[in-house]
């Protein structure tokens, strides 16, 4: 029997980094176009050491999604409600992992008294965030040699 998806605080930076890198490489091709320069820039700070720093940073929450003891998603939010990561393992795509992670990140923001979440969406995830209630919050911005779409969402109270 498959266990439900569990969202919890990240601890294993190496495993989280592996999911993050595979997600970017395999699922975000519409953004990086398999261009080695763009992909290299995007993955440049996605290392186990970087993830370990983010996990331990004050005001930052790094969460992972786990199913049957396998790590299948990584998300992060800062103290101001800026969602900085929401990536899913390629083998878990379209199974509700990103949605569960987004809900958990928004709950972290609410618990901290934040009333608005912001993020910069990839082209790949843009429709996902629109469907989750996020709206455009500015013109596209350069990101790792591609473009990101600033988005925001007001959070309803608990």
The pLDDT of residue 158 is 57
Span 49-70, pLDDT tens digits:
999 999 999 999 999 999 988 9
Q: Is 108 exposed, middle or buried (0-12, 13-18, 19+ CB in 10 A)?
A: buried
The pLDDT of residue 55 is 95
Q: Which of 33-37, 52-56, 72-76, 103-107 has the lowest mean pLDDT?
A: 33-37
The pLDDT of residue 9 is 96
| Topology at the third CATH level for domain 6-113 | Aminopeptidase (3.40.630)
The pLDDT of residue 3 is 66
Task: Using CA atoms of 132, 46, 62, 10 in order, give the dihedral in degrees to the nearest 10.
Answer: 120
Q: What share of the chain is helix, strand, coil (3-state, %, to 5)?
A: 40, 30, 35
CA 6, CA 71: separation in Å to the nearest integer? 9
The pLDDT of residue 90 is 95
Whether residue 43 has pLDDT greater than 60: yes
Whether residue 22 has pLDDT greater than 80: yes
Average pLDDT, the chain: 92
Span 81-105, pLDDT tens digits:
999 999 999 999 989 999 999 999 9
Element (H, E) at 100: helix 97-111
Cβ partners under 8 Å of residue 47, min gap 6? 17
Coil, helix or strand at residue 82: strand
Query: Would you place residue 133 in the very low, low, confident or very high pLDDT band (cuts 50, 70, 90)?
Result: very high
Show me where the domains of the chain are located: 6-113
Beta-bridge partners for 7? 65
pLDDT above 70 covers what percent of the chain?
97
Buried b / exposed e over 123-148, threshold 16 CB at 10 Å, is: bebbeebeebebeeeeeeeebbebeb
């Amino acid at each position: 029997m498959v266990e439900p998806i569990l969202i919890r605080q990240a601890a294993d930076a190496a495993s989280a980094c592996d999911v993050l890198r595979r997600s970017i490489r395999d699922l975000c091709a519409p953004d990086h176009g398999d261009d080695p320069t763009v992909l290299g820039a995007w993955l440049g700070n996605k290392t186990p050491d970087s993830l370990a720093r983010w996990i331990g940073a004050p005001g930052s929450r790094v969460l992972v999604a786990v199913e049957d003891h396998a790590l299948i998603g990584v998300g992060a939010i800062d103290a101001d409600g800026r969602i900085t990561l929401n990536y899913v393992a390629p083998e878990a795509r379209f199974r509700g992992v990103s949605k569960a992670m987004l809900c958990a990140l928004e709950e972290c923001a609410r618990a901290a008294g934040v009333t608005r979440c912001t993020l910069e969406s990839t082209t790949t995830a843009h429709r996902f965030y629109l469907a989750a209630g996020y709206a455009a919050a500015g013109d596209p911005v350069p990101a790792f040699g591609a473009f990101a779409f600033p988005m925001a969402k007001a959070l309803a109270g608990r």
